[in-house]
Structure 1
């Protein structure tokens, strides 16, 4: 039987970025960044208006973070040295559609990593498909990052370790504190204000960050140095808009994660046997192994 090839038409076509020349790729990304940025800002603005509906507010805030994370993924394509990007662009573009990968980028906007090796250690627990929860790891749970996303988003049937099905009723948590803009949204706002979402801004980003490949021992100080050089060039080329402030500069230094084009973000499968062995280890470590 002859298989009919599915037409590559409609959405989810970001893989076409991989087929573009370096110059065309920068131009195409520059065209899309303001569109993604507007989407992220729209979700965040709507979330902030729904303080009396915490579940819906959290869902929209999550959408804002994932949209903003798409920008960080595209900027990692831009930051990767041109001589090395050919072997990495497919992997990076695939992250554009991965909920877990986007949420990892968003999470890392809140964390500090001293170098790429430290970043890999921080990312590893976020990649596990299942993990243990509770004081002694008594509960086997799905990936908490994805579970928090989907349990707020969907009414669904779920099951615990014994296989008993239960209904998940999506809920949010009422907060009496002012809504805080997610760090990843702050980062992309700062990038826009500093003029990075133009062809010229992306060209500057590519040339400055392309001088150093972040592989293992490259540090936060290296990233700060390149950010400083990039900002100086953006200013020299009069690219920041009138809204740019020192606060935007500070956000880039504090919350733009180290490049992750050499960091594996694929989910890590964990077998039931491994989880039960870890449960036993944690239990006996707590109560004392009698052997």
Structure 2
């Protein structure tokens, strides 16, 4: 058997190539890509809106629109990263770009209101648990909801729960439970585009301004407000704001663009069955009262 010593470096999923680019070249490349991503996300959502009689298929397209939008936000965090730190972080950022879990959390995180980066990481941690407890008394062990709901809408599959009995998962039944709304992340990136952030000059401005602060731990929402105001002024001064921009676009730009997450961990946290059982028992006794523990 012949062992292949080196793989062919051609094909898709090559965002890592950006690490070899100079900063100016990388901004050129990202500016081109953001327009493509925005068009792709809009296309998925526009198609989803037409499938009123096909809720499962509409859910799939809505999910695609959300993840495409998240990819734009991840790239913008690469732009906002201090240039001197890019080399050390671009690997993680590229990994997030291709991770379904990271993209889903990125999209959801835009509506959160953390005090600082540390609290934001805590919020992210709660969304990246491999399994978690659910129910009034934490009696059920469930898989990571973001990934489970994505996969359960996309594919028919065989599942197994604590009773040990295999059962079929029907995506047409799962998707019928949801209500279709325009993805939050899509509305946000449309606003960022409208106010000029997606333009090449807008990316330059974002890099110059946001790159002055390294969001690592104690950096907080006050920094976000200040940097957003600075960027808004520069976008206006350089006449980069689109004529189609509305006050609603401006509001989204100021209120919902999350602090940079280039330094956060989005990888799945494996769950221990022993720990889940211990947590479940603790939740049970917390509910019924520890004073009755010896009665059972």
Same fold per superposition (TM over 0.5): yes
- CA distance in 1 between counterparts of 2:111 and 2:72 reads 16
The answer as to whether partners of 1:184 and 1:255 remain within 8 angstroms in 2 is no
2:158 alignment counterpart: 157
Distance 1:271 1:288, change over 3 A: same
1:110 CA drift (Å)? 2.1
Is residue 229 from structure 1 mapped to residue 230 from structure 2 by the alignment? yes
Distance in 2, Cα, partners of 1:113 & 1:46: 34
Partner of 1:190: 191
CA contact (8 A) 1:30 1:202 kept: yes
Q: Secondary structure at the match of 1:140?
A: strand
What is residue 123 of structure 2 aligned with on the other side?
A: 122
How far apart are 1:74 and its partner, in Å? 0.4
User: d(CA) in 2 for partners of 1:48 and 1:258?
Assistant: 30
Task: Name the stretch that deviates more: 179-188 or 33-42.
Answer: 179-188
- Tell me the distance in 2 between the aligned counterparts of 1:51 and 1:229: 42
The count of corresponding residues between Structure 1 and Structure 2 is 289
| CA deviation profile, 1:117-166 (whole Å, cap 9, x unmatched) | 11111111101111111111111111011111111111111110233211
Alignment of 1:257-268 (within 5 A): 257-268=258-269
Once residues 286 and 110 of structure 2 are traced to their aligned partners in structure 1, the CA distance between those partners, rounded to angstroms, is 34
Separation in structure 1 between the aligned mates of residue 9 and residue 231 of structure 2, nearest angstrom? 37
TM-score by length of 2: 0.94
Structure 1 consecutive aligned stretches of length 4 or more whose deviation exceeds 3 Å: none
CA deviation after TM superposition for structure 1 residue 174, in Å: 6.2
Q: 3-state SS of the aligned residue for 1:157?
A: strand
Q: CA separation in 2, counterparts of 1:48 and 1:74?
A: 27
Structure 2 residue matching 1:88: 3-state secondary structure: helix
**Residue 213 of structure 2: aligned partner:** 212
Q: 1 or 2, which has the higher helix percentage?
A: 2
TM-score (ref. length: structure 1): 0.95
Distance 2:266 2:195 in 1: 29
Paired position in structure 2 for 1:5? 6
- SS across alignment from 1:158: strand
Measured after TM superposition, the shift of residue 85 of structure 1 is 1.5
Structure 2 match to 1:72: 73
Q: CA deviation at 1:51?
A: 2.2
Instruction: Give the conservation status (yes or no) of the 8 Å contact 1:183–1:255.
Output: no
1: distance between equivalents of 2:264 and 2:115? 14
CA RMSD of aligned residues (A): 1.4
Where do 5+ consecutive residues of structure 1 fail to align? none
Rounded to whole Å, the distance in 1 between the matches of 2:158 and 2:115 is 41
Aligned residue for 1:244? Answer: 245
Unaligned runs of 5+ in 2: none
